[in-house]
Chain A
Amino acid sequence: MIKEDTLKQVLYIDLSKKKSWVEERQDLFSKYIGGAGVAIKLLHENCKYDIEPLSPENPIIFAIGPLNGLFPIASKTVALFKSPHTGNLGESHAGGRSAIAIRMAGYGAIVIKGKSERPCYLAIHGDKVYFKDATTLWGLEEGLSIGSLIRKQEPGAGLRTIMRIGPAGEKMISYACVTLETYRHFGRLGLGAVFGSKNLKAILVSGKRDLKVTDFKEYKEFYLELLKQLAQSDKMKKYHELGTPANVLPLSFSKGIPIKNLLTNELQRIENISGENFAEKHLGRRVACSHCPVACIHLSALRKPYEDEPYFYRTVYLSYDYELIYALGTMLGITSSEGVLKLIEIVEDLGLDAISTGVALAWSTEAFERGIIDEKMTEGIIPQWGNVEVYVEFIKKIVFSEGEFFKDMGKGLDYAASKYGGKEFALTYGKNEMPGYHTGYGAHIGYLFGARHSHLDSAGYAIDKEAMIKSFNEEEFAEKLINEELWRQIISSLVICFFGREIYTPEMILKCLKLAGYELDEDMLNEIGREIYANKYLFKIKCGFDFENLQLPQRIFELPSAIGELNQDFAQKIINILKEKIKSLL
């Protein structure tokens, strides 16, 4: 890396002592690049393996990489922590203004430890760290207004990120998210609950600086080339136009979109919640993360009348994506776009992870139908496919009810189904709820073995898509999954948005890294990727994670996927091969 680069600065913040300090860690950033690579080393250094995830000892680590601030669509921040949802590796990525703000503030990583005595928020303006009182912000039920209150208090407009939690985070729901810039999230695995456990309501980061490259002329030419590709390439078109909801119709034709807890693969009027229909009826504005020209964030304008006041309306802007339409739409049998938006609104207001919430609701609906749970437990709420109003109430109960059943639901679906039964149709993988792809072996086994049990670990749905045309054997499935996950360690260490992964080929990445002062070749990159992956898995294992406990939900074998009916023996063979492969990488 370039000697003067401030990327090597790690900002430590101790909330208990209200102290902060900076350590220079060129060693980490030279060896592991940044992002996920550096963050996992910092997690090993700062997190004892046997601690409770919601105790003050659990650190929150944010890290960015050398390409943030230098190249377009390098726009992501990686957050690592011990997950209150799974009890092992917590990893979540978000864009918004976060990565550029941290870079411009002069840091490569931020480590937050301890617990504030009272609710507080952190304001990090360049090299100044302020511990601010947030007792007035605590308990505010309108999740979105926190941002505006802090915006008013603090400088740095235009170049700052404001990460905050809602009521779900305060109440430490194990899948509470952290929201930034109103529409982006550290969504999965419960970072919001970790914030809540620390009495940390929000973090603002702002800064301004110029960065260095090894050769400015070459940099400028290469930058323009990348910008051109991002604008013109067909590879980016899907994100530009309809955005990720473009996938709703194709996945519904191929039977790959999960419907009603995978009880069926037919949903009448699914076209009402297609990307096309959302765009036509609701698309109100498109926005972008800092330093990304793609603007994949699609905001819908939902006009809502006041029931008691004629000619009075309010218009709310809500961001929608494929995963939300799946989790809060098809999974719950909801086929009106307004209905999906109403659920998105409540999930945003409360600060929950949309995917985990939707999957938990779907299980509850089926469990209710089967008599596993009853009206007494749900405090009179009868969950019912397609009933938006009831689901809104159910979600509120998860966050606010003191009743035993809802308290259990707030600990994640795996916890609830282990206690009440119905595990065979609880769609969880390593305790994390299922993403929106019932496409085949790639997707399901990818969730199961991905280090963070996410579709983003290894994009198994893309492997299934290939498998629809060309058949793969067990070995090939395993190989493809692991190779993709290994390569993604590099992308998430730079930190480039996965949407740009087809533009950022290894060759391109090496060129970018050279301009950032890294002399590497492809073999070295691959070795770094392997090491990062191994460090993640070792963290999981040291926290008590065991391959042998991993199990696919029985339900997925009962309903044909996009590549047809799934065979248990075939799946088991892939799993066995993967276990061996992963062990050999550690």
Chain B
Amino acid sequence: MPVFVKDANKCVGCLICMFACGRAHLVVGVESSCIKVRSQGGISRGFSVFVCRGCEDPPCARACPEDALIIRKGGGVLLKEDRCTGCGYCVKACILDAIGWNNAKNKPVICIQCGECAKSCHYKVLEHKRV
């Protein structure tokens, strides 16, 4: 489990992690971010943070009809882009909604377990553990 949500109560909703995730995928912005930050029904109730937890038996990989998602050693999956047809089943299979989408490519953006999000968080909401 390389990145996990340590304490969502400390999340201030700044979205810095989402931008960090974008940069890790070599883009500027939030479209490609695999992380989602949402208020719990209004900002006064605080935020929920959804990030790929690197499942050992990932449902996204199982849902892929093209075997484009390969189970990664140490958790998570790797995307074989040439095999992916952009069907979006993986996104639906992820109950955490932790898969992003690149509209230009029409392909999913998969967490690469790099920990850039955790590193960028000022409030230690996320923690990165090397496996």
Residue numbers of A with Cβ under 8 A of B are 69-70, 72, 100, 104, 147-148, 151, 157-159, 181-183, 208-213, 216, 219-220, 223, 227, 231, 285-295, 297, 299, 317
Expressed in whole angstroms, the Cα–Cα distance for A554 and B26 within the complex equals 59
Report B10 CB to chain A, min CB distance, Å.
9
* B23: A residues at CB distance < 8 A: 220, 223
Q: 10 shortest A-B CB distances, which residue pairs?
A: A317-B44, A288-B14, A295-B12, A210-B29, A288-B12, A210-B27, A158-B38, A211-B28, A208-B31, A293-B122
B15, A209: Cβ atoms closer than 8 Å? no
Is B107 engaged at the interface, CB distance under 8 Å to the other chain? no
Contact of B28 among A212, A286, A292 (CB under 8 A): A212
* A148: B residues at CB distance < 8 A: 41-42
* A290: B residues at CB distance < 8 A: 13-15
Expressed in whole angstroms, the Cα–Cα distance for A291 and B22 within the complex equals 13
* A227: B residues at CB distance < 8 A: 16, 120
Report A291 CB to chain B, min CB distance, Å.
6
**Chain B, range 1-44, C-beta contacts under 8 Å to A:** 12-16, 19, 22-23, 26-32, 36-39, 41-44
A219, B28: Cβ atoms closer than 8 Å? yes
Is B46 engaged at the interface, CB distance under 8 Å to the other chain? yes
**What is the interface size of chain B, counting residues whose CB is below 8 A from a CB of the partner?**
30
A210, B39: Cβ atoms closer than 8 Å? no
Given contact pairs A220-B23, A293-B122, A104 touches B43 in the complex (Cβ within 8 A): no
* A299: B residues at CB distance < 8 A: 44
Contact of B29 among A147, A181, A209, A285 (CB under 8 A): A209
Report A207 CB to chain B, min CB distance, Å.
9
Expressed in whole angstroms, the Cα–Cα distance for A287 and B23 within the complex equals 23
Residue-wise, chain B 56-88 has the 8 Å CB interface mask toward A (1 for contact) of 000000000000000000000000000000000
B38, A157: Cβ atoms closer than 8 Å? yes
B122, A181: Cβ atoms closer than 8 Å? no
Give 23 pairs: A residue, B residue, CB < 8 Å, sorted on A. Answer: A70-B28, A104-B29, A147-B42, A148-B41, A148-B42, A151-B41, A157-B39, A158-B36, A159-B30, A182-B44, A183-B43, A210-B29, A211-B28, A211-B29, A213-B28, A220-B23, A223-B23, A287-B43, A288-B12, A291-B16, A291-B19, A294-B14, A295-B12
Q: Among B22, B31, B123, which residue has the most Cβ atoms of chain A within 10 A?
A: B31
* B29: A residues at CB distance < 8 A: 69, 104, 208-211
Contact of B31 among A158, A210, A213, A220 (CB under 8 A): A210
* B26: A residues at CB distance < 8 A: 216
A291, B15: Cβ atoms closer than 8 Å? yes
In the complex, the chain A residue whose C-beta lies closest to that of B48 is A158
Expressed in whole angstroms, the Cα–Cα distance for A346 and B32 within the complex equals 41
* B39: A residues at CB distance < 8 A: 157-158
Report B9 CB to chain A, min CB distance, Å.
8
Expressed in whole angstroms, the Cα–Cα distance for A290 and B47 within the complex equals 13
Expressed in whole angstroms, the Cα–Cα distance for A348 and B46 within the complex equals 19
Residue numbers of B with Cβ under 8 A of A are 12-16, 19, 22-23, 26-32, 36-39, 41-44, 46, 102-104, 120, 122-123
A210, B32: Cβ atoms closer than 8 Å? yes
* B44: A residues at CB distance < 8 A: 182-183, 285, 299, 317
Q: Among A151, A285, A286, which residue has the most Cβ atoms of chain B within 10 A?
A: A285
List 9 other contacts, CB 8 Å, given A213-B28, A299-B44: A69-B28, A104-B29, A104-B31, A157-B38, A181-B43, A182-B44, A210-B27, A285-B46, A293-B12
Expressed in whole angstroms, the Cα–Cα distance for A212 and B123 within the complex equals 28
Expressed in whole angstroms, the Cα–Cα distance for A492 and B13 within the complex equals 23
Report A35 CB to chain B, min CB distance, Å.
19
* A288: B residues at CB distance < 8 A: 12-14
* B28: A residues at CB distance < 8 A: 69-70, 210-213, 216, 219
* B46: A residues at CB distance < 8 A: 285
* A183: B residues at CB distance < 8 A: 43-44
Report B75 CB to chain A, min CB distance, Å.
25
Expressed in whole angstroms, the Cα–Cα distance for A317 and B42 within the complex equals 11
Expressed in whole angstroms, the Cα–Cα distance for A70 and B13 within the complex equals 17
Expressed in whole angstroms, the Cα–Cα distance for A369 and B39 within the complex equals 47
Given contact pairs A295-B14, A317-B44, A158 touches B37 in the complex (Cβ within 8 A): yes
Q: Among B26, B46, B120, B122, which residue has the most Cβ atoms of chain A within 10 A?
A: B122
Q: Among B19, B27, B30, B122, which residue has the most Cβ atoms of chain A within 10 A?
A: B30
Expressed in whole angstroms, the Cα–Cα distance for A291 and B23 within the complex equals 14
Expressed in whole angstroms, the Cα–Cα distance for A317 and B26 within the complex equals 38
Expressed in whole angstroms, the Cα–Cα distance for A297 and B44 within the complex equals 11
A209, B31: Cβ atoms closer than 8 Å? yes
Expressed in whole angstroms, the Cα–Cα distance for A77 and B16 within the complex equals 18
* A289: B residues at CB distance < 8 A: 14
* B16: A residues at CB distance < 8 A: 72, 227, 291, 293
Report B49 CB to chain A, min CB distance, Å.
10
A210, B22: Cβ atoms closer than 8 Å? yes
In the complex, the chain B residue whose C-beta lies closest to that of A147 is B42
In the complex, the chain B residue whose C-beta lies closest to that of A144 is B42
* A208: B residues at CB distance < 8 A: 29-31, 103
Report B8 CB to chain A, min CB distance, Å.
12
Report B77 CB to chain A, min CB distance, Å.
22
B12, A151: Cβ atoms closer than 8 Å? no
Expressed in whole angstroms, the Cα–Cα distance for A290 and B13 within the complex equals 7
B42, A287: Cβ atoms closer than 8 Å? no
Expressed in whole angstroms, the Cα–Cα distance for A223 and B12 within the complex equals 20
Report B62 CB to chain A, min CB distance, Å.
27
